[in-house]
Each structure stands twice: as C-alpha cells, then as structure tokens.
Chains A and B, each alone.
Chain A
Amino acid sequence: MRFELREQTPWWLTIGAPVGAVLFSLLFASVLIAWAGEPVFSSLFLMFKGGYGSSFALTETLARATPLMFTGLAAAVAFKARFWNIGAEGQLYCGALCAVWLGTGLLELPPLLMVSVLFSTGALAGAALLLFPVFLKSRLNVDEVVTTLLLNFVVLLVVSYFLEGPMKDPMSLGWPQSASIIDAGVLEPLIPRSRVHSGLLFALAASVLIWWLLRYSRWGFETRAFGINASAAQHAGVSANTTILHVALLSGGLAGMAGVSEVAGLKGYLTLDLSPGFGYTGIAVAMLANLHPIGVIVSAVFLASIYIGADSMSRQAGIPSYIADIVVATSVLSVLVGLMFARYRVWLK
C-alpha cells in the first residue's frame, strides 16, 4: 500500500471524511444494538428523535453543545500549535469558580456589564491555570500533556474544598454547592421555557472570531506555521515561547468561558458535577472538526445530539446510554482514518 499526497483535496472529500466517519460509527453502534437484542432501526430512530426530533430535543441538544463549543475551540486552538492542552476540564472549573466567587453578590453591576465581567474574569482564571504548565514547558521542557492533565485533579480538589468550606451555600441543606449567581449575572434563555441560553451566542461568536484570527491575523499565521513546522517558523522569526504562551492563554481562556457559561446559563450555582467531562469531550469535538473553528460548531452539535439522543433512547429501549460514548469514540477514531484518505491518494500496490 502506498500513499501519495493530493495536490488539492476535493471539497466533497473534505466534507465526506467526517460524514463517512460518523456513518461508520453509527454502523458500528448498530452492531452493538443488535447484539443487545434490540431492533436496530427503531433504536437508531429513537436516538435521532431524542436528539433532533422535537423542539425540546433540539433545545436540549443546543444547550449541551454550548460548553462543548467552548472546550472544542480550546482544544482546536491549542492543537493547531501542537500544544497538547488536556486540561480544559480543570480550566473550565477555574472559570466557573471565578464566576461564582464574583457573581454571587461580591460584585453588582448592570446585567450586560455583569455578564461581560463574569466571562472575562472566568477566561482570565482559565488562562492563568495554564501559566504554570507553559512555564515548565518553555523553561524546563516538561511535557504539557502530563502537567495539564494532572492539574485537572488538583483543580477538582480545590473546588471541592471551596464548596465544602468557604463558598458553601448556607441554604443548601448540607449539599456541597455554592450560592446562586445574582440575577444580573444570569445568561437569559434564548427560547422561553428551554435551557438554551445566551452563552450559545458567545460560543458562536468565539468560533467565528477564532476562525478569522487563525486565517487572517499574524498571530494565526504564526500559530499555524509553528504547528506545522516549528523549526522553519523559528528560522523565519516566530518566537516559540511567545507563540506557545499566547496559544495557551487563549485555549485556557476559552475553556474557562465554558465554565462561566454553564454556571451562569444552565445551573445558576456551582457543584462538583457541573461538567460531565466537557473538557475531555472537547478534544473529541476538535478532532472530529479537524481543528477547524467553524467545524467545531457542527461537531459540537452533533456530539451533543448523540449524548442527548442516547439518553432518550436508553429510557425507551433496553440499551444503556453508554452507547453514546462508543459512537463518539469510534467517530473520532474513524475521522482520523477519513482525513488520511482526504489528504492522500491510496494505491493498493
């Protein structure tokens, strides 16, 4: 078997690779559904209906997609520069912690200003968490995969301390949770009686902004160049330390905003189960989108619908909702194979 780089990838392959990957993962899930003894087509239909089939399903999917867009962007930006930030989960909690610290009465501002302040301070908190791994990487060449991953557990323990101690809501009947964000800081629902909130607009705006930055700004150009060939970029005058620092701050900031959006938009208060692994799923979102910021929107909505749909399916048919994790995992793995076909012509001899 031989691989030959394509001169130009035809547009249908660029779209076709992730679509094919998704179809393959659904096919694989079908085998498991059949194995569990349930009818394949009606189960998949239930999953589809649960994700997209009603206005309730749609709003639930969008609400779930909102934090995934932020964490997906966080991973996409970092991975573009080959900075392997696996710590979006911790940065998310950092942002959330900062939001409840400021937003539960410490600061009182008019609504629009309040929301902006919460988002920016949350982003700063998420970004600040990455300063330490960046310092270790550029000074001592410590692998950021290890430091960012391990910081997730440190942050969770710190959050747990605050929720059990200084930030514990006295009205919570003993549960480890914070007080609620004041009304001025709450992200309004976009559709009445649904859980879709204006955090979605922030996520969409962030996607477009990052797409523009990567495509047209000097920062984006240097980041892409550095990610593809670091030594040639440095030879041309791109500073490695500055690029990594900027990329890390942006990535951590986006992950921090995911935390603010969840606390101020969905939950209203902070608990230790704020995120069911949004930080890690963000990596899958980014990979499925081939690190494209606009693609992140689509892949976040798709993965959210799989989780929501699988939940709904498991309530109505005898299939555990873990099928969603399998679909996500197989689609990420197969998109990597699909992208290889998009970039290379394959000859069998």
Chain B
Amino acid sequence: MSILQIEHVTKQFGSLLANDDISLELHQGEILALLGENGAGKTTLMNILFGHYTADAGVIKVRGKPLQAHSTDAALKSGIGMVHQHFTLADNMSVLENIVLGTESLWSAWSNRSSAREKLNGLVDRLQLAVDLDVPVSSLSIGERQRVEILKALYRDVDILILDEPTAVLTPDEVDSLFQRLRLMVENGLSIIIISHKLNEILNISDRIVVLRHGKVAGEVKTQSVDRDELATMIVGHQIDRPVVETVQHGQVVLSLNDVTVVGSNKSKAALRQINLVVREKQIVGVAGVSGNGQKELAGLLSGTLKHDAGEFSFLGSSLKSVTPRKIQKYGVARIPEDRHELGVIGEMSIAENFLLEDLGEPPCWRAGSVINSGAVRQRARDLISTFDIRCASSDIPVSLLSGGNMQKLILARNLSGKPRFVLASQPARGLDEGAIAFVHSQLLQARDNGAGVLLITEDLEELLQLSDTIVVVNDGQLSDPMDASDLTVRQLGKLMTGDESAQSPPSLASNTAPQVDNSNAI
C-alpha cells in the first residue's frame, strides 16, 4: 500500500528546472533511498514536500489525500517528519525540552512534562532509542544528538520519516546502531525516505532506490538487484573514472612534528598534546578521527594561523619558531581548508581576484610586490580556469555563484598549480558529488606523484583508506603511532577513533615515528 505519492512535481527557479516532472511513491513500511548528485533536485523535492516551496505543477498525496501546498503545518499534521543533516537542537536546553519545544500551544499556562515523558519513554522502549531525557543537549555525543532529532520527529506521531544525510557525521559503529533502529521503526509501521551520498550504506539499509539526475527521475530499482558500480553510473549518467592509486617510494622528510603541543582556544586543556608526526615526499598520511578531537588545531598549525606552544615543528629540516600564513606559503605549503566558504574563498570577490589570495605580492600578478598587474591576473585566471576545468561564465563573476565542486576546483587550482612541497588537505571532498570527488582525489595523487608530501584530514574513512599510504588516528588531542593503511579496515579505524582499546591495532610502523631513523625504502 502506498502511503505517499508524489505525482508529476515540477519546480523551476529562473532558468533552472530543479524538479522536472518527478513522480515517486513510498510504500507502507519500506525504506526508500533517494540518491543523486548535488543539484539533482533532492533537496528541492523535500522542500516542496515539507511546504517550504510551492510546486509549479504536480500534486502530493498522503494516504490518497492531496496535501495542502506551501504549508509546513499541513505536512506535519499529515504525519511527515524530517531529520535534517545539520541538527536543529538548542544546546543549552535539556533533551526533554528540545523534544517538547514547539508542540505545545503558546497560550497554555504550563507545559505538561509528565505526560510527554511517559509518551517518550514508550517510544524509547519500543525503538531502543535510549537517551537520558534530563541532561542538556550540549553534553551529548553526535550519535546521541541524532537520536534526539529522531525522537523529536517521532514524538509528533509521524508515520513518514525523512532522513537527510543521516550518516554524514557518524562513526561506523554508530551507523550500524542507527540502521538497526531504522529497521525496528519500519517493523513498527513507519515508512522512511533516506537521502545519502554513501552508496554502500544505501545498499545496506534500503529496500528500494530512486535516483534523481538533473531534476528528473533517472531510475528506480529494487536494492537487491543492483551493485555499487551500477548505482554510481545511474547517479552520474556515465561511467566515472576513479583515480587508480599506485604506491610510490617515499622520499625524504618534508614535515616533522616532535612533541608539539597546541593549546588552542580552551585554556584548561591543550587541543593537541605532545604529538609526533612525520610526512615524507611522495607520501599521503591520513588523519582519522571523530571531529573535534584536534583536527582543526592541527590544520591551523600547518596553515600558519595557530602557533605551537611547545615542541619542535620543522619543514624540510629547518625548525620553525613561530609561523604565519605567509611564511608557510613560502615553504611551498598548499592549503586546502576544511570550510571553503569560511576560509577558502572570498565569496563576493571575483574568480580572478580569488586566485590572487595565495602568494600575495608575488610576481607576475603583482608589480613591485604591491600593485595588481591586471593583464597578468586575467591571463592567470584564464589559464587556471581551463587547466582545472572550472565551469563558470567568466572570471569576473563572484565566487559565491560557483557550485561547491567548482569552488573546490578553484582552491585546488590556486594552491596546487605552483608545484607545492607539502599539501594540507582538510576534508577536501566534503559535500562534493562523485565526479568532483574523483577530480579532487586525482589532483591529490598527482601532487604526491610530483613529489609533495600530503597530509589528508578527513572523516570519510573510505576516502582515507583509499588514498593514504599511512594513517594516524587523532583522539582527544593525541596522535596514534602511524599505521600502514593497507593493514586497516573501516571497522578497525572506527574503533580506534573512539578510543576503543579492544580494537586489534595492527603493528605500527615504528621506523616512521622518528625522522632521524631513515625509512629503508627512502631514496
């Protein structure tokens, strides 16, 4: 029996046809996966379903009855709940308060907490969503917060639950436990739509898959009848050439950190404590870890925006006392920041001007180190746009109009075109679609093959295992000994990231910890 029908929904924004005659059906008690690249129309469709946008044409029916358009209230009342990728919880309030928030009339004199608690305890028992209702949300882990978000939706008696990228922030174990609970919910009569980029997970959890491409339904399949590669081809519309990773011989030491401590913003506990790290030429070292364990500080230190408070930080054999971004750039460090909007680009400046940001004052784009050479700037922009295949109308449009993938290409072009000695890549593929991810990965591998040492900080464990030669795990401000990437599995890494001692850690590469001990493979 179908509980939700989306029929011929069309939505146009200016010249962009975001949803083009989309029809799909959700059956009672199934998990339907919605797949597609960024900009394929998933978010628009969900926004129409939820009443944020009005469709230009088409109808949505819940249990056979048409849903009132452009009303979030109507969507909620007809039993649709949504868990967003970015949590919408008030950190300073308790779990119970967060869940009850917005469900009670503004005019009722007091809130009925005891009946809410009773109802929630019923839900918690039935679906094994154990969480303490009385602690503030700020004290919860990411996985627990997601449980609260789900409870918040279920508390409103929904029978259709939409999950937008629910696993993006979870460790493998947390993903497992989330999926167990989703299955339990479906057994209890819920119907679920799950939106995700991670194909393996979709293949694992869903019953049926609908793929959107360029605003149209590109295909609909039963999950049992497809494999990963077929799915990827359906999403992109053509075969993707994934970069082939070949191991190469590492060269001499580029970066070494010796007992380095970085205090960071929290004065009571240093963000990084006495860490040791070595990156060699032609080596990709991956840093795994749950976000917030010191990755940001490590990236800050290597970008020159944070200072180290103790220990020895040396580049190419010379020890650095204090660093600035300029000094770091002079050492040939290419930096791909974690948050491209916040740190990578200046949105309201043009593409050509954003190319100027690295190497401020260096020729040929600057005359005498202080005057812009417009001709050279335009020439450089043209060259980089064509070499890195940045899709844009011209180099004069503001960068904020570029898609995420093209913005990242701009950052790569600016940083990698100058033959760097060391590349710091923080979450380089976050939020990008399959095609752009393949491009970013091939660029990183090419930089390595050209002789750069690469430090890859990412939460995507598959990406990490695919690209890295060596992996270190950061946990609570401390780095593990380096491990050979080929000895590790996603599951082991997940355990190490959460500091689980029972994980069988593979033998560490002791010879790699100290720069003075030369790797036997070194050239």
Contacts and interface: CB of A to CB of B under 8 A. Distances in A.
Residue with the greatest number of chain B CB neighbours at <10 A, chosen from A219, A221, A236, A239 = A236
Interface in A212-260: 215-219, 221-222, 224-225, 228-229, 231-239
Interface residues of A, number: 26
B369 interface: yes
Given A4-B14, A232-B343, A237 B360 contact: yes
Interface stretch (B24-32, B392-400, B465-473): B392-400
B357 interface: yes
Given A217-B370, A221-B353, A229 B347 contact: yes
Give the interface size bracket for B toward A: 35 or more
A5 interface: yes
Interface string B387-405: 0000001001110110000
Interface stretch (B125-133, B195-203, B240-248, B323-331): B323-331
Given A231-B342, A235-B303, A225 B357 contact: yes
Contacts of B398: 5, 7
Contact of A228 (B324, B335, B346, B370): B346
A291 to B, nearest CB: 13
A342 to B, nearest CB: 13
Interface in A103-136: none
B328 to A, nearest CB: 8
B361 interface: yes
B371 A229 contact: no
B325 A5 contact: no
Nearest to B324: A237
Nearest to A349: B54
A345 interface: yes
Interface in A332-346: 345
B344 interface: yes
Interface string A193-225: 000000000000000000000011111011011
B13 interface: yes
B325 A235 contact: yes
B401 A217 contact: no
B356 interface: yes
A215 B304 CA distance: 27
A228 B349 contact: yes
Interface string B372-411: 1010000000000000000001001110110000000000
B345 A216 contact: no
A219 B325 contact: no
B397 A234 contact: no
B462 interface: no
A328 B361 CA distance: 41
A173 B166 CA distance: 82
B366 interface: yes
Interface in B305-360: 305, 324-326, 329, 335, 337, 342-349, 353, 356-358, 360
A8 B357 contact: no
A239 B325 CA distance: 9
A204 to B, nearest CB: 22
Interface of B: 13-14, 54, 303-305, 324-326, 329, 335, 337, 342-349, 353, 356-358, 360-361, 366, 369-372, 374, 393, 396-398, 400-401
Interface of A: 4-5, 7-8, 215-219, 221-222, 224-225, 228-229, 231-239, 345, 349
